[in-house]
Each structure stands twice: as C-alpha cells, then as structure tokens.
Structure 1
C-alpha cells in the first residue's frame, strides 16, 4: 500500500501531498466517492479500483482499515479548489442556520459521520417513532467500530502532519504518524476539535461541554446530509425524524470510546 502511494505521488511531482490524498480516494471504495464528499472536496474522483481496499494494517498500535483511513484522511483536506472553498463556506453557513453554530466540513465528517450513520440506518429501518437502545447499539458496533474510529483518528493525525509540514510526502507522513502515541492523538483530537481539557491521568475534565459539542455536530451532519443534500433545506423533513434520544445514545457511545482510548491505548512498538 505504501509503495503504491509513494509511486503514485512520484508520478505526479507537481501535485501537493494534499492533492494526492484527495485523488487517492478513488482507489478506496466506490461508496466513498459520493455527493457529500464532492461538496467537501469540490470534485469527485471517479472510482478506479480498490487498490487500497480490503487491507488492514497496524499504525500507532491500532488495527486500521486502510481504505477507511484514506477516506477519512481525504475528509481532512478541504479547500482543494475554488469550488471546494465555496462549498465549504456554504456548508458553514447552512450549519449555522440549521443548528445555530457554523462548522467547516472537517468538523462533522470522518468520526462524526461514522457515529451518525447508524442513526440514519436506524431511522430508515425502524422509523422515527421508536427508540430501541439495544438495536441502535448493535448498529453502532457495526458501522462505528473501534477499528473505524481508530482509522478516523489516525487519519486526523496524518492530516495535521501534512498541513503542518507541506513538504512531507503522504508515505512519509504515515510513517511519521506511526511513531506517535495513540492516546496523545486522541487527546489532540479532543482538544483541537472540541476544546477539551484533559487531566494528567487522562480524564476529560469538561465532559458536559464536550458532550454538547459532539451532540451538535452529529445533529449537524444528519440535518445537512439529509435535508440539504438529499432533501430540501426549506422542507426540513429529516429534522422531524431525528429523536434526541438517538443522538444522545450515539454521542455517549463515541465519548465512551474516546475516554477509554485516552487511558488504555498502547504505546507504538519501536
């Protein structure tokens, strides 16, 4: 995989690493090249083949679904062209109107999207009038697994490396990230994305504030993806379907994973 990525980038010497990341999405899974991604990136690469699919690797001591990781990494690379910049501005304004807070696309994709997807599946299958905790827990375990979250958060770390060190190749950034501590990556994710305060022993101090922010972003993802992209911002049909209990459940599920990862993740082997 790394050899393929390195050769792919060497064949495109004028492209930046962030541009390479965006185009590599075409080699993950066909389902990852969708309308929502097109709005984030400003373009949608035609699916070529799953060169990076069906492979698991270990990075930071975590089992990573590589196709999921590459898709999550490309989620971090907004603003690739004028269309992407304008689309992201539109999504920010839309989220501000619909949720009261403006988010850029990086704030409600990847891990937030994985946490929200089981709610979509639940509503499509069971409708808006029920709340079955055990059923939703099963869907969360299937669509937002520990491997999915690890893939998202490792991608977050690699994305930060590429933004902070634009001269790094994609391969070099992945190899450098492998030396990072996973719990440190989770901590940075919580601090950078949600303004978390973490105690010396790895406890989220301002837990209620972080919970509210995660809840809001899950809700923003659902409303924007379903009412704006698939429906109508004026009808807001999906808004009526999302029971707070479903988002609360998914929020608690994600926070539980993050808190456990802060204190339990192993050090990467040397």
Structure 2
C-alpha cells in the first residue's frame, strides 16, 4: 500500500493505479474490435516510450509501431509487486504468437533478449562501454535490471503463456487474471516452466542449472547486441577457448554477477529459501564441473 501511495505522489495525476491502466486497455480493445491480441499489444507499445518503438523492436516483433505518448510508461502495483508497466507491454509484444506464420515467429527466441536477458546484458554493456559513468556493475544492474524491470519481465512471460494457450482470450482479461494472483506464485511458476526448476518445499534444488541457463542466455544476447562494441574482444576470447584469459575471466565474472542478481530477485520475490551453491565453471560446458567456492542467491 505504501508503494502505491508513493507512486501516486511521485507521478501526480498520471495513470499509476492498475484499474486505470486496465480500463485504458479495455477501451483500446473496444475501439479495435477486429484486431488480434498480438496487434493490440504491439499497438499499445506506442504508449510506452520511444525506445520501445525503434526499428529493432519492429524487427523482433514483426510490427512497426510509432511512438504516440507515454500513457503506459508507469510504475504501478501489478499482482502486488511494483512493476514497470511500459516495460511489461514492450516485453509482452515480443512473446505473443502472431496469427498465421510470420517472420517474427522465427525470432520468437528473442523474447528472453527483449526482457530479462536483455536487461542483464544491457547493464553489463553500459558498465563496460562507459567506464566512469557507473561506480560498479552492481549499480548498473540495480538501475537497468531492477526489481520493477524483472517483475515486468516475469509478468510478460506469464501473460504471454496464457494468451498463446488460449487464442480467444483478450489481453485485458489475461492481464486481470495475472493481477489476481500473488507475485510470489508467478515467480515460482516462471522458475518451474521457463528453467525447469525443481522445488523441495520452499527450496530450489537445482540452482546451478538455473544459473547456467541465465548466464548462457545473457551471453547470447551480448553476442547479438549491436551496442556491445567494447565487449567484442572480450567475447571473442570467451568463445574461442575454454582456458583462462584476463578478458574471458572479466566477462565471466560479469555474467555470473548478472545471473546471481536476477536469481536473487527470483529467490526473494518467490519467498524461497536463500541459497548457497557452487556454479558451473563454464555454463556451456557443465561436464567440466563446478567451481570450488560457493555463491549466494
């Protein structure tokens, strides 16, 4: 409740409560009665922020949408968790199936890159490419892969799963269904279905496997990113050989810190037991075994 009061104070008269945002989406749907959920969501991307309406977003979603206004660029309580709602809409637009077979169906795997992996990777990019602007990678992760970003990412993954399984459901109804359940339940479902996480009571029993998947996917994002020029040489060293080099060790440490930052969000927000475990030496080569030290999440 205090988060909502703070948000209302900070944003003034803008749409910061869930009911107002949901009503806007319902009205938008009513004004476009013959439009698919895929198109509705991508049109709503025009009400987030200019950075979500670039050519890159047109390519990955298969839908060109110009920026209109920032009506949905808000932080609000969504399923009980403070969430960047504009980020949610943008991430969701890349994860909903298009009607029929479209080019973006072949780029569906970008869904991770336009959500959690992209957030982690972008934080690493910004920290390494602009030294001095950020004091630490932790600061970069807290700013560019924040809790409200990750709650948006998990909401996008969950809502897209609902929509892709039920082609008749409206976006507003899928959003309302998500909002009706506590965020901690969504986090646990996300861990189980996206990462094949295994629980024993409230303890994640295969954390090293989950961490390796996060690290691998974030690295894949960095390989594809056009903004990672300062990291290219580091990544070349990383991919060419498994033996230790200064560049490879630095990037490996960044990726591990980024993955643990995300895991910490999942463990905390899922009300799970805090973890200490040994991550794999090389996430792409688990047969090499784990490191000889423990990390926390």
TM-score higher than 0.5 = yes
Number of matched pairs: 236
How far does residue 173 in structure 1 lie from its aligned partner after superposition? 1.3
Measured in 2, the distance between the counterparts of 1:246 and 1:204 equals: 23
Q: Which runs of 4+ in 1 moved over 4 A?
A: 78-81
2:181 alignment partner, SS class: coil
| TM-score w.r.t. length of structure 2 | 0.73
How far does residue 78 in structure 1 lie from its aligned partner after superposition? 5.0
Q: How does 1:130-169 map to 2 (within 5 A)?
A: 135-169=136-170
Q: How does 1:13-162 map to 2 (within 5 A)?
A: 13-53=33-73, 55-79=74-98, 82-86=102-106, 88=107, 104-126=109-131, 135-162=136-163
| TM-score w.r.t. length of structure 1 | 0.79
- Is residue 204 of structure 1 aligned with residue 223 of structure 2? no
Identify if the C-alpha distance between structure 1 residues 252 and 177 changes in structure 2 by more than 3 Å, giving closer, same or farther.
Answer: same
Give structure 2 stretches of 5+ with no counterpart: 1-20, 237-246, 273-297
CA contact (8 A) 1:107 1:193 kept: no
CA RMSD in angstroms comes to 2.4
Decide which moves more: 108-117 or 249-258: 108-117
Give structure 1 stretches of 5+ with no counterpart: 90-103, 265-270
How far does residue 121 in structure 1 lie from its aligned partner after superposition? 0.3
How far does residue 45 in structure 1 lie from its aligned partner after superposition? 0.8
2:225 alignment partner, SS class: helix
Larger Rg over CA atoms: 2
How far does residue 65 in structure 1 lie from its aligned partner after superposition? 1.9
Q: Which residue of the partner structure matches residue 267 of structure 1?
A: none
Decide which moves more: 24-33 or 38-47: 38-47
CA contact (8 A) 2:120 2:259 kept: yes
Higher relative contact order (CA 8 A, sep 6+): 1
Q: Which residue of the partner structure matches residue 261 of structure 1?
A: 269
Measured in 1, the distance between the counterparts of 2:56 and 2:80 equals: 31
CA contact (8 A) 1:22 1:77 kept: no
1:64 alignment partner, SS class: strand
